[in-house]
Amino acid sequence: MSDPAERSALELRLDLHARRCSAEQLAREGLERIAASGLNAFLDVQPELTLAQARAADDRLATIARAGDDWRTTPLLGVPIAHKDIFVTRGWKSTAGSRMLADYVSPFDAAVVERLAAAGAVTLGKTHCDEFAMGSANENPHFGPVRNPWDESRISGGSSGGSAAAVAAGLVALATGTDTGGSVRQPAAMCGVTGIKPTYGRVSRDGMIAFASSLDQAGAIGRDARDCALLLAAMAGFDARDSTSLETAVPDWLGELAVADPATAQPLAGLRIGLPDEFFGAGVDDGVLAAVRQGLSALVALGATARPIRLPRTDLAIPAYYTIAPAEASSNLSRFDGVRYGHRASRYADLDDMYARTRAEGFGAEVKRRIIVGTYVLSHGYYDAYYVKAQQLRRLIADDFRTAFAEVDVIAGPVAPTTAWRIGEQTDDPVSNYLADIFTLPASLAGLPAMSVPCGADAGGLPVGLQLIAPWLEEGRLLRCAAALQQTTDWHRARAGRPAAPAASPGGAAG
């Protein structure tokens, strides 16, 4: 039996059902790997709680005759999982990466946590993230940076950096993340793992600590598309507690992949891929472009066709997002006032002083920056000039996608313009961090499903993600593309220490 750190969740599931290992054994090994890792990928582990869940899973496994009998009810029975510390959990801390909530323990589980526990998953711990999910580097001012397993002097990406690093390092096979403007896709790309952000509304936001509510969406991070399909299906579905939850049936994504499976030479025949000119222009590193083109060539070899398209309003995504997201954040974060949750300043003169000191101490610089910007753009006299204008841009960006999807089935390009940068390199440069979100923000603003799939490495051996974007509710199409790609290529199997070969020079067949 191969090293558990190398096995996918689907393989672990089969091993559990075949009694080749127990849930308790997997949980213990996972906890040991986490304790030995120097990546700072976890903010809280509670071994007693984890082991109790694992033993309960073993008891249930003993009553199930064979793998397959449990698909409907407990598809993840005994499989270890880690949750981004944005999902509140009973028993573990729920910090959102903030000093404001450093000791906060929720009285209830987020809907995602509840669903995955019901599916049988065993929680290994809470993963590190940017404070309130605001950021793309996971250089957290309160709890330190998450280190990228490919090069520990580099960032993991963010804001779901702990989840992506944990999967990349084999600490856990599955992890949840959230993506408001790229926070599942970008760290997945930078850590060389697979990540999917579904359509806005697919997964309940109940118990997901709010950043920008009209954009926030939970997503799945795993080693490959099949594991992402397994995890996403267990997370998704209507929830009356979330007013924007979609009342749409959750497809059997994994089952659909199995049907598409038999190694036909051209599983993607007929699939039309659009390559936005705006995603392949200046500002994208050569190594990223070369790897993305190599991924596209592999999709074309599987029968897809690729052609250039336009998403002309791409450059408006940054100003639109960095107006709307701070506006919503300033409103959502007003609840952290020292009265209801978390941190309260120990010394203050009166009520106003208590609010001021509490918030000054509890929030880091980036969160404060966003609260200030957000409060400004929502204030009387500026609301129409900034916030309403940004909403209009958002509509135009969504219209660009609608036009493009009349002609193509999937849109592809890089996830990010660069591979992982060095820790400290951009810490004091918020604008550089914002600009690096250029390719992930458009799909978020339009509410579309999007995915990051490993497609090789740059010349320095750092992983690159190929982004795939599909129309509303077409997650299945993304997973099918990614699974087909992963059946014939090995980029998703590359690990630190055994990297993918650097892509050949830019200008490959596709693109």
Contact footprint for ligand GLN (CB under 6 A): 133-136, 159, 178-183, 211, 325, 437
Q: Considering beta carbons, is residue 211 or 336 the nearer one to ligand GLN?
A: 211
The one catalytic residue among 94, 136, 156, 183: 183
What are 347's two structure tokens?
Answer: 């010394």
Give the separation between CA 220 and CA 163, rounded to whole angstroms.
9
Whole-number minimum distance, CB 498 to ligand GLN, in Å?
30
Whether the Cβ atoms of residue 338 and residue 344 lie closer than 8 Å to each other: yes
Q: Considering beta carbons, is residue 245 or 433 the nearer one to ligand GLN?
A: 433
Chain position whose Cβ is nearest to ligand GLN: 183
Q: Considering beta carbons, is residue 217 or 297 the nearer one to ligand GLN?
A: 217
153 is known as an active-site residue = no
Whole-number minimum distance, CB 427 to ligand GLN, in Å?
13
The one catalytic residue among 98, 159, 160, 204: 159
Element holding 186 (H helix, E strand): helix 185-191
Whole-number minimum distance, CB 319 to ligand GLN, in Å?
13
Give the separation between CA 57 and CA 111, rounded to whole angstroms.
20
Q: Considering beta carbons, is residue 90 or 369 the nearer one to ligand GLN?
A: 369
Give the separation between CA 114 and CA 93, rounded to whole angstroms.
15
The one catalytic residue among 8, 22, 84, 98: 84
Single-letter amino acid, residue 90 = R
389 is known as an active-site residue = no
Which residues have a Cβ under 8 Å from the Cβ of 185 and sit 6 or more positions away? 179, 195, 197, 415, 440, 450, 451, 452, 465, 467
Residue recorded with tokens 């993600």: 465
Q: Considering beta carbons, is residue 139 or 437 the nearer one to ligand GLN?
A: 437
Q: Considering beta carbons, is residue 34 or 325 the nearer one to ligand GLN?
A: 325
The Cβ of residue 62 has, within 10 Å, a number of other Cβ atoms equal to 9
Residues paired with 144 in a beta bridge: 140
Residues paired with 151 in a beta bridge: 148
CA distances from 453 to 96, 448, 490, 493, 501 (A): 26, 16, 11, 11, 16
Distance of CA 17 to the CA centre of its chain: 28
Whether the Cβ atoms of residue 71 and residue 234 lie closer than 8 Å to each other: no
What are 264's two structure tokens?
Answer: 């036909």
Give the separation between CA 412 and CA 313, rounded to whole angstroms.
16
Q: Considering beta carbons, is residue 53 or 136 the nearer one to ligand GLN?
A: 136
> Among the residues of 18-130, which ranges form H helices?
23-36, 47-63, 111-118
Whole-number minimum distance, CB 345 to ligand GLN, in Å?
27
Whole-number minimum distance, CB 489 to ligand GLN, in Å?
27
106 closest CA partner among 122, 123, 85: 85
183 is known as an active-site residue = yes
Whole-number minimum distance, CB 30 to ligand GLN, in Å?
25
Whole-number minimum distance, CB 405 to ligand GLN, in Å?
22
Residues paired with 397 in a beta bridge: none
Catalytic residue positions? 84, 159, 183
